[in-house]
């Protein structure tokens, strides 16, 4: 009888012989197997994606190498998706036996990949179809697991040695064309060097990419440079979104991609020099950040995606720690936290991006400050929104004002509104203007009505109302657009006197900072601010200041206005040029306009700002006796939708 040792030796020989026979069979029939595999892929492309996939020649080279020529994928009745002239690659056989494709080498010579969108559709639409076999109710997704698997598969398809020549990536979006040509790409011994030519209708540019790339260990350190003079311009964004952008250089460093304890860690940093962006929604001029760096740590768990608070964002001399999170454990929750450690106020001012804060140029400050912001939004419980900000000051004061000299509020000055980039007629804010009205000569009714509708806590807040910001954020989230701003009278005053009405990020940020400086440095009294506000705001078409408005509507002085007239004037402030919409063809107030005024007067009664005797005669129709009456002859059709929304818009 055979011993146990002899049986093991025999079994080993059988396995080795079988494995050898399989290898021999593979080498004998591998070209036939390759043809069958290509045929299966072609059949699948035709059946599932209505596309033609062809390879003119395909053969094995050596043990694990493959050589192809004329690889074409073309959707039927659409432009070719890609066409590769020559390609040679090798795979890791051992990883392949485990069901994982890992490229070892890759050589590509001539070819293109193109995405086309035109009147006939997109040439890649067929490949975006969702799998209909997936159940409508999916199991909860594990973000860390999915992301790590995806990253690993992508990096396994990046070869450790690569050589590419004349491979183009083309984009044609209804005539907006971009051609990015990889003239030369080399990845040898983990060293990457690439030469790219970018061509659009507007410009041609050559870019160099070089650095370290180790796809197997998930590490990289890559830099982008312009081979020509000037900055690197980003293509397509200008034509597609009217966004001009450029930079001098970019560095991207991936230090660690690791999954442990059920969490995926992705660590590294990215830096950019002289980033320039220009878009009408951002600012009216180029915005430039000279130096910016982001030391990041992304964390992904089974039910969250986040940027960890140990991350650091730096632009110029400003450093802060951001925390961003998207959580789905119980509810869908969005979180944002910003922590600016103690820093010099002057360092903050000089670090502000050029073009974004033009009114702060030349401003000087002393002292230090630190800032914290905490925001949380629960999609399923929106009323529990958290919005808290905390600014700690240390001997902070402004020693020299910039372009926006806030002190001018305390003296006589000329105000000129800017509407749609058009400078309006000058309005003198001072006693030399016969229409100028001191605060004590403005009807107390009007002061109470405007404060109630625009800013009830004007005399107690410091420029901002956190609760108003919360409500503004909630409404903007619900409507998915910026429909509510939460502006106080202080913010409206700064916007009118020092800024423009442009709806840009720049204007809003400047408004916030200027209001803070105005209110927290006691530059002007609240009474003076309110007086200037009443004398400069627009009350109708080419009507500025309450002195003009009282005459335009009622042929009165501001001191003689009655409650009914004051209620009307307060309700037209949001849209003064459309005041005539509140009247029907007979010159009487429409029902929704009466409802607005009744709502406002009842609110003032509840708050003790009015007594019942003040409302005597409330049902007497409003009479427009001034020049405004001529505009009421316009035939404006009533709109139930507009009428029903008006009260909410003004008093929500």
- The answer to the question of residue 565 being in a domain is yes
pTM of the predicted structure, to 2 decimals = 0.79
| Total tally of structural domains belonging to the chain | 2
Write out 272-287 in H/E/C secondary structure. Answer: EEEEEEECCCCCCCCE
- The answer to the question of residue 369 being in a domain is yes
Query: Same structural domain for residues 323 and 393?
Result: yes
pLDDT grade for 113, boundaries at 50, 70 and 90:
very high
Query: Same structural domain for residues 352 and 456?
Result: no
> Which of 352, 369, 403 is the last residue in one of the domains?
403
- The answer to the question of residue 523 being in a domain is yes
- The answer to the question of residue 12 being in a domain is no
β-strands 413-415, 418-419: how paired?
Answer: unpaired
CB-count exposure of residue 416 (10 Å: 0-12, 13-18, 19+): exposed
Query: Same structural domain for residues 437 and 324?
Result: no
Domain that holds residue 367: 304-403
Residues 623, 626, 627, 632: what is their CA dihedral angle, to the nearest 10 degrees? 0
Query: Same structural domain for residues 472 and 389?
Result: no
- The answer to the question of residue 474 being in a domain is yes
pLDDT grade for 321, boundaries at 50, 70 and 90:
very high
* pLDDT tens column, 167-217: 999 999 998 999 999 999 999 999 999 999 999 988 999 999 999 999 989
pLDDT for the residue numbered 495: 87
Query: Same structural domain for residues 452 and 345?
Result: no
Q: Are 434 and 441 in contact (CB under 8 A)?
A: no
Query: Same structural domain for residues 397 and 434?
Result: no
CATH classification at residue 527: 1.10.3810.10
> Which of 353, 385, 403 is the last residue in one of the domains?
403
Query: Same structural domain for residues 433 and 399?
Result: no
Query: Same structural domain for residues 471 and 365?
Result: no
- The closest of 270, 348, 340, 345 to 309, measured between CA atoms, is 340
pLDDT for the residue numbered 367: 93
Give dist(CA 504, CA 507) in Å, integer: 5
- The answer to the question of residue 105 being in a domain is no
How far CA 64 is from CA of 59, 85, 193, 626, 640, in Å, comes to 11, 21, 26, 92, 74
Query: Same structural domain for residues 433 and 335?
Result: no
Query: Same structural domain for residues 347 and 436?
Result: no
Query: Same structural domain for residues 308 and 435?
Result: no
Contacts with 103 (C-beta within 8 Å, 6 or more apart), sequence order: 89, 90, 91, 92, 156, 157, 158, 159
- The closest of 530, 539, 534, 490 to 512, measured between CA atoms, is 490
Task: Match 């012989």 to its residue by tokens.
Answer: 17
* pLDDT tens column, 574-625: 889 889 888 888 888 899 999 999 999 999 999 999 888 888 877 788 888 9
pLDDT grade for 147, boundaries at 50, 70 and 90:
very high
- The answer to the question of residue 223 being in a domain is no
> Which of 365, 388, 403 is the last residue in one of the domains?
403
Query: Same structural domain for residues 383 and 488?
Result: no
């Amino acid at each position: 009888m055979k011993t146990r040792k002899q049986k093991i030796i025999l079994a080993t020989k059988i396995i080795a012989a079988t494995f050898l026979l399989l290898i021999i069979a593979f080498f004998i029939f591998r070209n036939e197997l390759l043809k069958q595999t290509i045929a299966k892929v072609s059949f699948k492309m035709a059946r599932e994606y209505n596309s033609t996939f062809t390879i003119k020649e395909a053969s094995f080279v050596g043990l694990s190498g493959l050589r192809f020529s004329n690889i074409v994928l073309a959707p039927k009745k659409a432009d070719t998706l890609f066409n590769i002239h020559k390609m040679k690659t090798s795979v890791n056989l051992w990883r392949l036996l485990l069901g994982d494709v890992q490229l070892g080498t890759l050589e590509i010579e001539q070819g293109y990949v193109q995405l086309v969108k035109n009147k006939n559709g997109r040439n890649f639409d067929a490949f975006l179809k969702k799998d209909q076999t997936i159940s409508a109710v999916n199991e909860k997704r594990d973000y860390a697991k999915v992301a790590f698997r995806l990253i690993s598969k992508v990096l396994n398809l990046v070869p450790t040695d690569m050589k590419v020549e004349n491979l183009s990536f083309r984009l044609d979006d209804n005539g907006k064309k971009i051609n990015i040509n990889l003239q030369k790409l080399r990845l040898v011994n983990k060293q990457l060097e690439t030469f790219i030519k970018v061509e659009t209708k507007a410009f041609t540019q050559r870019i160099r990419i070089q650095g370290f790339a180790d796809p197997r260990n998930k590490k990289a350190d890559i830099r982008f440079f312009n081979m020509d003079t000037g900055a690197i311009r980003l293509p397509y964004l200008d034509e597609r979104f009217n966004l001009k952008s450029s930079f001098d250089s970019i560095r991207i460093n991936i230090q660690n991609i690791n999954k442990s304890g059920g969490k995926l860690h992705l660590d590294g940093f990215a830096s950019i020099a002289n980033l320039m962006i220009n878009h009408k929604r951002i600012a009216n001029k180029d915005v430039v950040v000279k130096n910016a760096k982001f030391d990041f740590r992304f964390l992904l768990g089974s039910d969250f995606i986040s940027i960890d608070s140990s991350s650091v964002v730096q632009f110029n001399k400003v450093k802060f720690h951001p925390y961003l999170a998207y959580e789905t454990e119980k509810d869908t929750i969005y979180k944002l936290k910003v922590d600016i450690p103690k820093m010099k106020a002057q360092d903050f001012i000089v670090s502000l991006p050029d073009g974004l804060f033009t009114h702060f140029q030349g401003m000087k400050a002393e002292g230090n400050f630190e800032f914290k912001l905490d925001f949380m939004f629960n999609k399923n419980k929106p009323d529990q929104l958290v919005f808290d900000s905390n600014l700690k000051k240390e001997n902070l004061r402004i020693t020299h004002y910039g372009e926006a000299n806030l002190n001018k509020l305390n003296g006589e000055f000329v105000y000129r509104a800017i509407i749609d980039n058009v400078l309006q007629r000058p309005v003198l804010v001072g006693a030399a203007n016969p229409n100028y009205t001191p605060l004590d000569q403005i009807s107390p009714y009007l002061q109470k009505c405007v404060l109630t509708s625009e800013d009830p806590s004007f005399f107690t807040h410091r420029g901002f109302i956190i609760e108003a910001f919360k409500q503004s954020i909630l409404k903007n989230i619900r409507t998915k657009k910026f429909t509510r701003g939460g502006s106080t009278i202080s913010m409206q005053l700064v916007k009118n006197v020092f800024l423009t009405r442009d709806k840009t990020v720049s204007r809003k940020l400047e408004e916030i900072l200027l209001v803070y400086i105005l209110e927290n440095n006691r530059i002007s009294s609240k009474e003076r601010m309110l007086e200037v506000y009443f004398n400069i705001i627009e009350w109708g078409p080419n009507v500025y200041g309450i002195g003009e408005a009282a005459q335009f509507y009622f042929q009165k002085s501001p001191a003689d206005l009655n409650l009914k007239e004051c209620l009307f004037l307060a309700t037209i402030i949001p849209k003064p040029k459309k005041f005539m919409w509140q009247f029907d063809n007979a010159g009487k107030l429409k029902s929704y306009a009466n409802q607005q005024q009744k709502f406002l007067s009842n609110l003032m009664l509840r708050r003790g700002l009015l007594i019942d005797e003040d409302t005597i005669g409330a049902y007497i129709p409003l009479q427009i006796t001034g020049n405004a009456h001529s505009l009421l002859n316009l035939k404006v059709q009533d709109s139930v939708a507009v009428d029903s929304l008006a009260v909410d818009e003004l008093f929500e």
